């Protein structure tokens, strides 16, 4: 993942409950100049990062399809992370080694690789976990309410049928 991380500016986000999408985290509602980066596993699981095509700043995360998930009846353990704003310099789509969504009482964790995390970068409600080569290996969505989690569960169980 080729990116720039700016710790001098923090970015705000909000979780959006929208039918047909298990999870959306929006940083900017602006719909112009968008570029989509897909992280997919086979034809069964996928999330997209929406970035500004001019400067690469993240605008939205969308979990579009999820068939591999597990429910955890505990709160999520959140790693310590540098806070700031992320800008993507490369917008190449990625085929994931695996894809498992863990649904906790207060957040989500999407594992897309079995490699170990080396760096954690926090942007709003998202935490990007990167390995020692700066490849994205997992993603956390933090600070979710019980209503947010209920929405995620409804949508993943709906797509599971």
What pLDDT is attached to residue 159? 57
pLDDT score of 146: 97
Q: What is the pLDDT of residue 161?
A: 46
For the entire predicted model, the pTM comes to 0.95
Would you kindly state where each structural domain of the chain is located, as residue ranges? 3-160
Confidence of residue 160 (pLDDT cuts 50, 70, 90): low
Report the distance separating Cα 72 and Cα 91, nearest Å: 32
Average pLDDT over residues 60-72: 97
More confident residue, 160 or 122: 122
Mind listing the pLDDT tens digit for each residue in 127-148? Answer: 999 999 999 999 999 999 999 9
Please give the C-alpha separations between residue 91 and each of 1, 19, 94, in angstroms, as whole numbers: 9, 27, 9
**pLDDT score for 145:** 98
Distance (Å, rounded) from C-alpha 142 to C-alpha 2?
A: 23
Sign of torsion, CA 151 152 153 158?
Answer: positive
Beta carbons within 8 Å of 116's beta carbon, 6+ residues apart: 131, 132, 137
pLDDT for the residue numbered 149: 98
Give 9 or 161, the one with higher predicted confidence: 9
Flag whether pLDDT at 68 surpasses 60.
Answer: yes
Cα 88 to Cα 146: distance, rounded to the nearest angstrom: 31
Q: Write down the mean pLDDT value for the chain.
A: 95
Residue 41 dihedral angles phi and psi, to the nearest 5°: -125, 115
Residue 46 is given by DSSP the state E
């Amino acid at each position: 993942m080729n990116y720039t991380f700016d710790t001098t500016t923090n970015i705000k986000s909000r979780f959006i409950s929208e039918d047909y999408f298990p999870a959306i985290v929006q940083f900017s509602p602006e719909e112009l100049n968008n570029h989509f980066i897909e992280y997919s596993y086979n034809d069964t699981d996928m999330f997209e990062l929406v970035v500004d095509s001019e400067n690469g700043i993240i605008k939205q995360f969308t979990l579009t399809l999820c068939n591999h998930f597990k429910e955890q009846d505990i709160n999520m353990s959140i790693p310590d992370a540098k806070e700031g704003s992320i800008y993507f310099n490369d917008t190449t789509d990625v085929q994931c080694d695996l894809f498992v969504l863990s649904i906790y009482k207060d957040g989500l964790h999407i594992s897309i690789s079995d490699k170990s995390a080396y760096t954690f970068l926090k942007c709003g409600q998202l935490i990007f976990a990167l390995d020692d080569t700066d490849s994205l290996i997992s993603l956390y969505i933090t600070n979710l309410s019980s209503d947010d989690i209920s929405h995620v569960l409804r949508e993943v169980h709906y797509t599971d049928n």
